[in-house]
């Protein structure tokens, strides 16, 4: 079964907790703190696999969780970090945030690697909190939770050329003639139930990928037939070949067919109709008089399209069409890669008020939105640290600390971040 869209839920690993421990050995009556840090939670990573052609695997498994980090222990032993969970997806998969529909990543290169959910940081052990005036800290930090999000995987085929047209006009036959693909071919509508890809070789170092897009009929852009699900596969095609039946065997007008399909392309996305297009009048051998082919050729050439007469089944006119396709592709831009547009949602600092506790001169701020804020800040970057400071100030954390009696020089501890307080 061909599956080209799937929703899955990801949960990265939680960070391990820091340990509260003190050094103990013979002849050492009261050693210092030696609690180790918790390990980092595992990430969930998406990588493209050129050998996959469908999202079928995600039809049966929809929830993925990475390994949690291990807790720290004594003797300054840090917990083991959780292993990353690697999920393989077909090449050409677009990753979207399910809630907003925004593109997070387009996995169109074999070297792509996307961290879809990041594991939580491990908590600090009590060894981090020892100072000249606080030599036996009896507290440690919990690990941060891993990211959890729902994403949509959307497969958009990586093809240079897309074959579009009504069912049973000969698209699959044409693909089988010009490539080594073996799509199902029969004389009835909707013989093709999923897109087929074929590589067309023209000579040394010259080739392109052609896709047979099934199921486009009137109303396809609204969900009629199979087109609603498969129109997305045309998004990346650099060139379209509009195949029209000019034999009159089904009593249809080729001009009306041509305009009907174009209307559906336009409704799905204006960019599709403006995509470079060649028009192929197929099944010419079934209409010796050529009246319908003449009518369609006159109509499309007046609109600026190049027209080709062929009979895919009889291999007539196919070479001229393929040579024209190769010439067109030579000066067209490469396959479209979708740019990320996802923006992390703004952290709501008004809900779930953080909990502030203190032991001596150490003030601990935890809970609520603080975990998400710490997870999203790069503390190795000056501007990120200033952003962190502004968010705390805007949320009234400093005002609350001062109202509780914090003094200059006291230590503020927020998960695995610790700094000296100055007014």
One domain, residues 212 and 295 = yes
Spatial distance between the Cα atoms of 246 and 55, rounded to a whole number of angstroms? 36
Q: Decide if 340 is inside a domain.
A: no
CATH number of the domain encompassing residue 4: 2.70.210.12
Pick from 7, 89, 99, 86: which is nearest to 43 by CA? 86
Within this chain, do residues 148 and 165 fall inside the same structural domain, yes or no? no
Verify that 141 and 10 share a domain, yes or no: yes
51 C-beta neighbours (distance < 10 Å), count: 7
Average pLDDT over residues 212-233: 60
What pLDDT is recorded for position 96? Answer: 93
pLDDT (tens digit per residue) in 65-98: 999 999 999 888 999 999 999 999 998 899 999 9
Q: Is residue 104 part of a domain?
A: yes
Within-domain flag for 172:
yes
CB count within 10 Å of CB 312 equals 26
How would you class 295 by CB atoms within 10 Å of its CB: exposed for 0-12, middle for 13-18, buried for 19 or more? middle
CATH code assigned at 168: 3.40.50.300
Assigned domain for 27 exists: yes
Asked if 169 and 303 sit in the same domain, the reply is yes
Whether 180 and 322 map to the same domain: the answer is yes
Q: What is the mean pLDDT of residues 153-159?
A: 85
Structural domain includes residue 305: yes
Q: Give pTM, 2 decimals.
A: 0.72
Q: Are residues 268 and 204 in the same domain?
A: yes
Grade residue 348 by pLDDT with cuts at 50, 70 and 90: low
- 77 half-sphere exposure, CB direction, 13 A CA radius: 9
pLDDT digits (tens, 9 = 90+) for 263-285: 888 887 777 778 899 999 988 88
pLDDT of residue 16: 92
Q: For helices 171-178 and 318-329, what crossing angle results, to 10°?
A: 80
Q: How far apart are CA 78 and CA 18, in angstroms?
A: 8
322, 176: one domain: yes
150 shares a domain with 169 = no
Angle formed by the axes of helices 254-268 and 291-302, to 10°? 40
pLDDT score for 361: 78
DSSP character for 287? -
Provide the domain limits for residue 279.
161-329
pLDDT digits (tens, 9 = 90+) for 186-206: 554 555 556 778 888 887 678
Same domain for 271 and 167: yes
State which of 111-115, 128-132, 134-138 shows the largest mean pLDDT: 111-115
Question: In percent, how much of the chain has pLDDT > 70?
Answer: 89
Domain end among 155, 179, 194? 155
Domain match, 214 and 318 both:
yes
Q: Are 375 and 119 a contacting pair, CB within 8 Å? A: no
Whether residue 4 sits in one domain with residue 92? yes
d(CA 419, CA 408): 11
State yes or no: pLDDT of 46 exceeds 70.
Answer: yes
Work out the number of other CB atoms within 10 angstroms of the CB of residue 48.
21
Q: How many domains does the chain have?
A: 3
Is 251 among the domain residues? Answer: yes
My answer on whether 308 and 371 are in the same domain is: no
What is the band of 216 on the pLDDT scale with cuts at 50, 70, 90? low
- Distance, in Å, from the CA atom of 373 to the CA atom of 344, rounded to the nearest integer, reads 11
> Are the C-beta atoms of 2 and 136 separated by less than 8 Å?
no
Q: Considering 329, 354, 386, which residue would you say is the last residue of a domain? A: 329
Q: Give percent of the chain with pLDDT exceeding 90.
A: 25
């Amino acid at each position: 079964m061909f599956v080209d869209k799937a929703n899955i839920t990801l949960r990265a690993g939680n960070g391990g907790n820091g340990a509260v421990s003190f050094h103990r050995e013979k002849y050492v009556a009261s050693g210092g703190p030696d609690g180790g840090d918790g390990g980092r939670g595992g990430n969930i990573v998406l990588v493209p696999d050129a050998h996959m052609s469908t999202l079928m695997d995600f039809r049966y498994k929809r929830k993925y969780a990475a390994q949690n980090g291990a807790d720290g222990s004594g003797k300054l032993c840090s917990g083991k970090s959780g292993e990353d969970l690697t999920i393989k997806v077909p090449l050409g998969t677009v990753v979207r945030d399910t809630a907003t529909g925004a593109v997070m990543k387009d996995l169109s290169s074999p070297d792509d690697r996307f961290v879809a959910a990041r594991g939580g940081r491990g908590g600090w052990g009590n060894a981090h909190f020892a100072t000249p005036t606080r030599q036996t800290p009896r507290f440690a930090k919990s690990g941060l939770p891993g990211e959890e999000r729902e994403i949509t995987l959307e497969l958009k085929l990586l093809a240079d050329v897309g074959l579009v047209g009504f069912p049973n006009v000969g698209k699959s036959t044409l693909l089988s003639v010009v490539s080594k693909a073996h799509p199902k071919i029969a004389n009835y509508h909707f013989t093709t139930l999923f897109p087929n890809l074929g590589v067309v070789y023209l000579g040394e170092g010259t080739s392109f990928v052609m896709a047979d897009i099934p199921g486009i009929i009137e109303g396809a852009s609204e969900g009629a037939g199979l087109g609603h699900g498969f129109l997305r596969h045309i998004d990346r095609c650099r060139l379209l070949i509009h195949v029209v039946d000019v034999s009159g065997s089904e009593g249809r007008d080729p001009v009306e067919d041509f305009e009907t399909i174009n209307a559906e392309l336009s409704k799905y996305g204006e960019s599709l109709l403006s995509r470079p297009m060649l028009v192929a009048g197929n099944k010419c051998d079934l209409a010796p008089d050529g009246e319908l082919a003449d009518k369609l050729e006159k109509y499309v050439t007046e609109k600026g399209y190049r027209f080709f007469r062929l009979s895919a089944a009889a291999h007539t006119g196919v070479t001229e069409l393929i040579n024209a396709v190769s010439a067109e592709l030579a000066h067209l831009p490469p396959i479209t890669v979708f740019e990320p547009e996802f923006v992390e949602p703004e952290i709501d600092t008004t809900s779930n008020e953080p909990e502030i506790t203190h032991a001596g001169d150490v003030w601990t701020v935890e809970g609520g939105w603080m975990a998400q804020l710490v997870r999203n800040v790069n503390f190795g970057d000056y501007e990120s640290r200033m952003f962190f400071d502004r968010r705390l100030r805007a949320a009234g954390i400093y005002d609350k600390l001062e109202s509780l009696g914090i003094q200059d020089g006291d230590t503020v501890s927020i998960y695995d971040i610790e700094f000296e307080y100055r007014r």
